Chains A and B, each alone.
Chain A
Amino acid sequence: MAMTITEKILANHSNKKEAKPGDNLWIDVDVLMTHDVCGPGTFGIFKKEFGPGAKVWDRDKVVIIPDHYIFTSDKHARRNIEILRDFVKEQDLPHYYDVDSPRYKGVCHVALPEEGFTRPGEVLFGTDSHTCTAGAFGEFATGIGNTDAAFVLGTGKLWVKVPATMKFVFEGTLPKYLMAKDLILTAIGAVGVDGATYRTMEFSGSTIDAMSMEDRMTLCNMVIEAGGKNGICVPDATTIDYVRARTQKEFECFYNDDDAQYYSVHRFNVRDIEPTVAKPHSPDNKARVSEVAGTKLDRAYIGSCTGGKISDFVAAAEILRGQHVAIDTFIVPATTDVERAINTITVDGKTIMQVFRDAGCRIGEPSCAACLGGPTDTFGRLNGVEVCISTTNRNFPGRMGSPKSQVYLASPYTVAASAVKGVITNPREFFE
């Protein structure tokens, strides 16, 4: 039977010859990731169900990355980190990235690839809805709840209903003013916030083939905003080079059969796409930047798993160099590696970090920070009626803090250009 990449990975991990949409399969898990918000609940269920002396199924396959509520004095948040530490010690887990240690990383979905845990052909589950980011590497990756995660911790297995695949084909050379964020906001706007529920969103075409891994991650990160179960990109030399540079572990690439069946196919020529935003209060509330240009802003925010990677800051710096921001602008590197990179990479003889400082931006510590609001002392949190333009992935009411605030989602180019002008601004102005 002809199969898609996702179907092949799921068949392979359940020892079946084939897998078709709708099949329920028990699959073997290669990596389970959890963080400070869901880890404690997961460990509690694990102990309750498997007994107080239970051991995790495979120490080497559990990855724990605190990232959500880190630089805060909130006492519940601190208590969560203590629970992670105790569990790691008790289970003797090697892959833990402790706060206040040189191993500290930051946002889990960016840290996983950096540390070599995202590999083609594998199955990755995480207790976070944006675990789908790792589909960029040609693997099956999706978010689960605490009960499911506790089940995986004890057994290394989980049931999955095989999703049908929706194919999103992008053709053409990406114009200078567009980024992966514009493409995914366009795709979500086309199908709606539940347009891909239970399904796979697969990204292909010449535009995707030419993209870096970070840009493919931006696409797969936001499939959950269309309700998708997983996102996936076809692995190629770009994927293999990235992964090989970070892990010695063997992996197997899977590809679509020529006559594989798709639920639907959506084609875009990037020449027809304009810089795009999602207006408050939904990621599918799409508009061209030109339609909302001039909207008055109080704040700009560049960070998170989808918009706080190295290439996102390189893009922002292209616009911000030699400029000064007109509104409060917050820069939050996703991880410590990203932070190191922006302290090293230079434009016009200055580090990107210096460009941001000279432009008057405020720089935060690597973590999720205000992407999901967090405790009131969180860096960049919207505590009032602010209007913010942000490179993050969700703009539901109250997502970045106060329910009275408003959030526009956009690419790093658009956010940086808007920061300079203080109103929503088309980045094309900076390239023409």
Chain B
Amino acid sequence: MLKHIISGKAFVLGNDIDTDQIIPAAHLVYKLDDPEERKNYGAFALSGVPAAQSGLPVGGIPFIGEGTWQSEYTIVIGGKNFGCGSSREHAPVALNIAGIEAVVAESYARIFYRNSVDGGFVAPFETSEHLYREIRTGDDLTLDTQACTLENTTQRKTYALRPLGDIEAILRAGGVFNYARETGMIETK
């Protein structure tokens, strides 16, 4: 279910973050329907990002603290082509389990984008600004999903985000299944 306001700390990454960096292939074995096993996806989220690129502009910042599976960050900031590579749905799932509610990037690889929306895992916002050069990992952000603005309260700057368009209804419903039930396409359980 998409919230009106998403607020929390920023975790900043660069261009071409592929799904192997988001969740390396070796970790695709855990069962998602097991409440304990699924925590591993959070524990290893973004573990494939090279250390120097993890948490820009400084780098070397772990996304997940030692021994935990939930991140202290809420919004991921990326550059171009976020989520490229294999079609694994585990990528937006891992970010979701780690506690990420939205990603703001310049563009997405389309399968990652679809998976994020249809599973209702994270809200993928697009922007034409090169945010990863401005926002610093740890900055406090407030994302208004209706006005489509991103406010950096640490740096006192506000950016415009592209409207979600037709996918907004699916995100607000919490994914394609809820959406189809709400609109009468499939029977309610």
Residue positions of A touching B, CB distance < 8 A: 24, 26, 38, 41, 44, 48-51, 76, 127-129, 143-148, 151, 154-155, 157, 159, 161, 193-194, 197-198, 227, 229, 372-373, 394, 396-399
Contacts and interface: CB of A to CB of B under 8 A. Distances in A.
B40 interface: no
B185 A44 contact: no
A414 B177 CA distance: 47
Given A151-B180, A198-B110, A396 B33 contact: no
A153 to B, nearest CB: 12
Nearest to A80: B29
A46 to B, nearest CB: 10
Nearest to A44: B33
Contact of A151 (B85, B109, B110, B118): B118
A396 B24 CA distance: 12
Interface string B177-189: 1001000011001
Interface string B23-63: 01100010011000000000000000000000000000000
B80 A147 contact: no
B103 interface: no
A279 to B, nearest CB: 16
Contacts of A155: 180, 185-186
Interface in B54-82: 80-81
B161 interface: no
Given A41-B32, A147-B115, A154-B186, A193 B87 contact: no
B151 interface: no
B145 interface: no
A145 B109 contact: no
Nearest to B177: A49
Contacts of A129: 86-87, 111
Contacts of B144: none
Given A129-B87, A396-B85, A145 B118 contact: yes
B16 interface: yes
A146 B121 CA distance: 13
A159 B81 CA distance: 22
B89 A145 contact: yes
Contacts of B97: none
Contacts of A24: 166
A144 to B, nearest CB: 7
A146 B92 CA distance: 12
B115 A148 contact: yes
A252 B16 CA distance: 39
Given A161-B166, A398-B20, A145 B33 contact: no
A51 B88 CA distance: 24
Interface string B101-112: 000000111110
Contacts of B18: 396
A12 B102 CA distance: 35
Contact of A51 (B80, B119, B189): B189
Interface of B: 16, 18, 20, 24-25, 29, 32-33, 80-81, 84-89, 107-111, 114-115, 118-119, 166, 170, 175-177, 180, 185-186, 189
Main secondary structure of the interface of B (DSSP, over half): loop
15 contacts: A26-B185, A76-B29, A145-B119, A147-B89, A147-B119, A147-B176, A148-B115, A151-B176, A193-B81, A197-B108, A197-B109, A227-B84, A373-B25, A394-B85, A398-B20
A278 B84 CA distance: 17
B29 A143 contact: no
Contacts of A128: 87
A159 B166 CA distance: 10
A229 B87 contact: no
Nearest to B80: A194
Contacts of B24: 398
Nearest to A74: B29
Contacts of B81: 193-194, 197, 227
B89 A194 contact: no
A44 B33 CA distance: 9
A194 B109 contact: yes
B25 A197 contact: no
Nearest to B185: A155
A129 B83 CA distance: 13
Smallest CB-CB A-B distances: 3 pairs: A145-B89, A145-B115, A194-B81
Nearest to B81: A194
Given A44-B32, A157-B185, A396-B18, A148 B107 contact: no
Nearest to A160: B114
B185 to A, nearest CB: 7
Nearest to B24: A398
A414 to B, nearest CB: 24
B122 to A, nearest CB: 13
A197 B110 contact: yes
Given A38-B87, A155-B180, 14 more contacts: A24-B166, A41-B89, A49-B189, A143-B87, A144-B87, A145-B89, A147-B119, A151-B176, A151-B180, A159-B176, A193-B81, A194-B80, A198-B110, A229-B110
A148 B167 CA distance: 14
Contact of B20 (A41, A144, A145, A396): A396
Contacts of A396: 18, 20, 85
Contacts of A154: 186
Nearest to A154: B186
A41 B81 CA distance: 25
Contacts of B110: 197-198, 227, 229
A128 B114 CA distance: 13
A193 B118 contact: no
A145 B87 contact: yes
Contacts of A161: 166
